[in-house]
């Protein structure tokens, strides 16, 4: 088959076919006398193998090496291509994020664009003091998407605190970025994101509430617990069981108990809190868990818990009985 006919059938330009020939990728026999290329069935098969590998993003040199080296396992080649693809995608993603940050900054001139890019570069300075100054700047605030990304990757505690402040300052715009971070496979990123969302909840509850509700059912228990405390602080009584569970486990139990008290005193959830705590007291056997539950009752209005406490003054676990008696005395004095 002549080169022109093969080009028409395959859709590969004659120029590319000649290039393949020059590289030794697909080198057909030459006809005696006129030196025309004469492609055989084997050449055509090899051509489509070349095109198949090329479609995977392989450079022509790598294709030639692969086809001439039968000892190279295909899996190694595929792994290399996958790594290259990941690197390319990561570079494109970084570029997209940078463009998004510049676009979101509201830059109205090319000078503004240059200033924003310079600011983003300073945010990546190896000097933590410089990064801290950039995060705290009010004259040139960091675009919120860039601030969230920098916060999630920051190793310096002081800089992370400054970046958290910068994000909270624009918590409404940051909510979408934080929600994406909560779905990350990176546990550190998830937990920083929920910490920022919780800290910013009071400044803009409407923006953060959907994020906190999603986080309250997250597979990561640390995320769930932080979300439950934040939601309780906003008066959402749906998280009472989660907060009581934290008390039982002894994980941030003091904060959880204080939040239960807030829900009982300020949001009319006292009866629900008492009922859940009472149920856990009946089911818990360890003195540690039961002791923490009784202590949590001390955060609630005495009128709601006096009956429960009275039933615990003769509890077989001494620390439970002692705490109940003490709370009854404190409650009667109040």
pLDDT for the residue 38: 87
Residues 6+ positions from 23 with CB-CB distance below 8 Å: 60, 61, 64
Given this model, what pLDDT does residue 69 score? 66
Pairwise CA distance, residues 248 & 277, whole Å: 9
pLDDT at position 115 is 86
* Residue at 299 is within a domain: yes
- Average pLDDT, integer, range 148-164: 92
Residue 72 banded pLDDT, cuts 50, 70, 90: low
35 within a domain of the structure (yes/no):
yes
Among the three residues 72, 95, 121, which one is the final residue of a domain in this structure?
Answer: 72
Q: Last residue of some domain: 20, 38, 72?
A: 72
Band of residue 132 on the pLDDT scale cut at 50, 70, 90: very high
Q: Is the pLDDT of residue 333 over 70?
A: no
pLDDT for 73? 66
Looking at the 3D structure of the chain, how many domains does it have?
A: 2
* Residues of the domain holding 39: 3-72
Residue 48: per-residue pLDDT:
85
Higher per-residue confidence, 267 vs 70: 267
The highest-confidence range among 144-158, 226-240, 282-296, by mean pLDDT, is 226-240
CA distance 25 to 47: 8
pLDDT at 293: 95
Q: 116: Cβ–Cβ under 8 A, 6 or more apart, which residues?
A: 101, 102, 105, 107, 143
Q: Is the pLDDT of residue 172 over 60?
A: yes
Q: 105-130: string of b/e by CB count within 10 Å (b at 16+)? A: bebeeeeeeeebeebbebbeeeebee
Contact status, residue 234 vs residue 209, Cβ threshold 8 Å: yes
Instruction: Give the model confidence (pLDDT) of 286-312 as tens digits.
Output: 778 999 999 999 999 999 999 999 999
User: What does 16-83 look like in DSSP terms, one character per residue?
Assistant: HHHHHHHHTSS-PEEPTTT--EE--HHHHHHHHHHHHHHHTT--HHHHHHHHH-TTS-HHHHHHHHHH
Final residue before a domain boundary, out of 54, 72, 90: 72
* Mean pLDDT over each residue of the chain, to the nearest integer: 89
Establish if 303 belongs to a structural domain: yes
CATH number at residue 45: 1.10.1660.10
Over 90: is that where the pLDDT of 49 sits?
no
Distance, CA of 248 to CA of 113 (rounded, Å): 53
Question: How much is the average pLDDT of 79-101?
Answer: 85
């Amino acid at each position: 088959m002549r080169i022109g006919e093969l080009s028409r059938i395959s859709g590969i330009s004659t120029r590319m076919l000649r290039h393949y020939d020059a590289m030794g990728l697909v080198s057909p026999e030459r006809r005696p006398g006129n030196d025309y290329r004469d492609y055989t069935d084997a050449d055509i098969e090899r051509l489509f193998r070349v095109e198949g590998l090329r479609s995977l993003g392989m450079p022509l040199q790598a294709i030639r090496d692969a086809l001439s080296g039968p000892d190279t396992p295909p899996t190694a080649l595929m792994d290399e291509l996958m790594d290259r693809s990941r690197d390319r995608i990561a570079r494109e993603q970084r570029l997209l994020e940078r463009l998004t940050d510049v676009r979101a900054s509201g830059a109205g001139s090319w000078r503004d664009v240059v200033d924003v890019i310079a600011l983003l570069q300073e945010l990546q300075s190896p000097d933590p003091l410089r990064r801290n100054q950039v995060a705290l700047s009010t004259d040139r605030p960091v675009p919120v998407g860039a601030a969230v990304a920098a916060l999630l990757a920051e190793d310096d505690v002081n800089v992370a605190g400054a970046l958290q402040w910068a994000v909270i300052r624009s918590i409404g715009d940051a909510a979408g970025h934080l929600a994406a971070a909560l779905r990350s496979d990176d546990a550190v990123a998830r937990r920083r994101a929920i910490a920022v969302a919780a800290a910013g909840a009071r400044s803009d509850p409407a923006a953060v509430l959907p994020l906190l509700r999603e986080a309250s059912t997250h597979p990561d228990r640390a995320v769930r617990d932080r979300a439950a405390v934040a939601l309780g602080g906003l008066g959402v009584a749906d998280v009472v069981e989660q907060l009581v569970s934290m008390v039982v486990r002894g994980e941030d139990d003091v904060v959880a108990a204080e939040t239960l008290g807030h829900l009982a005193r300020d949001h009319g959830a006292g009866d629900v809190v008492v009922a859940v705590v009472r149920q856990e007291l009946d089911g818990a056997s360890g003195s540690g868990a039961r002791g923490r539950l009784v202590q949590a009752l001390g955060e609630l209005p005495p009128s709601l818990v006096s009956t429960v406490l009275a039933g615990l003054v003769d509890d077989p676990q001494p620390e439970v009985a002692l705490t109940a008696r003490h709370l009854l005395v404190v409650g009667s004095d109040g």
